[in-house]
Amino acid sequence: MPSTDVINQIGLSHYLVLSAALFTMGFLGVLMRRNVLVMMMCIELMLNAVNLTFIAFSKFSGRIDGQIMVFFVMTIAAAEAAVGLAIIVSIFKRYREVNIRFFEHLKG
């Protein structure tokens, strides 16, 4: 890499590092939080981080397909959130519980 001006020359790697940071944060949340809803939010955060890489690669490789992938990922994420929340709500309605450790009882 010829350019050394890390602060002013914003390039692909900046976006990638940012997205890596967000991704790991989300993953940490999935591993550490107890609330199922928060875990789902952390999954959304991870998906968003991945979206950022898609967009960054799309921009820096000059192909629009990355943006379309993001479009699709968003759809899938929304569908996932809808179904996931529906499941959580039906469990909550019955047991008044959102702790992930409680969900262990659902094991067959």
Partner 1 sequence: MTADAFIFWFLSLVAVTSGLSVVMMANPIYSALSLAMTMVSLAALFATLGAYFIAGVQVIVYAGAVMVLFVIVLMLFDLREETKAFTRGQVSGALKIAMIGFLAGLIVMVMAQGVKFLAAPDVVDAAKLPEDSSKALGLVLFNRHIFGFEALGVLLLVVAVGTVALARSKGGTHAKH
Partner 2 sequence: MNHSLLMAILLLSPFVGFLINGARYRKNGPNLAGWLATTAIAISFICSILLVADLIGMPAESRRIAVSFFDWIVIDKLKVAAGFVVDPISAIMILVITGVGTLIHMFSIGYMHHDKGVAKYFAYLNLFVFNMLILVLGDSLLTMFVGWEGVGLCSYLLIGFWFTDKDKAAAGMKAFITNRIGDAAFLLGMFILFMTYGTLNFFDLNQLAPTVPEASWLGAATLGTLMLFIGATGKSAQIPLYVWLPDAMAGPTPVSALIHAATMVTAGVYMIVRLNAMFIAAPNTLMIIAVIGAATAVMAASIGMTQWDIKKVLAYSTVSQLGYMFLAAGVGAFGVAMFHLMTHAFFKALMFLGSGSVIHAMHEEQDIRKMGALKKYMPITHITFFFGWLAIIGMPPFAGFFSKDEILWKAMTSPLGHPLLWAAGVLGAVMTAFYMTRLMALTFWGKSRVPKEVHPHESPALMTIPLIVLGLLSIVGGWLGINHAISSILPGHPANVLEHWLGPVLREPSLDGVHHSVTMEWALMGVSVGLAALSAFVAYHFYVRSPETPKKIAESLGPVYRLISKKYLVDELYFGVIINPLIAFSKNLWHHVDVQVIDKTTYLLADLMKGGGSVVRTLQTGNMQQYAMYIGLGLVAVLSFVLMR
Partner 3 sequence: MPLGGVLFLTIFIALFGTLLIFLARAMGGDQTRNQTGVKFDPYECGIPGQEKKDTKVSVKFYLTAILFILFDIEIIFMYPWAITFRDFIEAGAGTAVGLSMLIFLLIFIFGLFWEIKSKALEWD
In the complex, minimum distance from the CB of residue 27 to partner 1, in angstroms, rounded to a whole number: 6
Task: State which of residues 93, 94, 96, 101 lies at the interface with partner 2 (CB under 8 A).
Answer: 101
Site for partner 2 in 40-69 (CB under 8 A): none
Note whether 103 binds partner 1 by CB under 8 A: no
Note whether 43 binds partner 1 by CB under 8 A: no
Q: Decide: 42 and 24 in contact? Cβ < 8 Å.
A: no
d(C-alpha 72, C-alpha 37), whole Å = 23
Please tell me the count of residues contacting partner 1 according to CB under 8 A: 76
Give 5-27 as a DSSP string. Answer: -TTT---HHHHHHHHHHHHHHHH
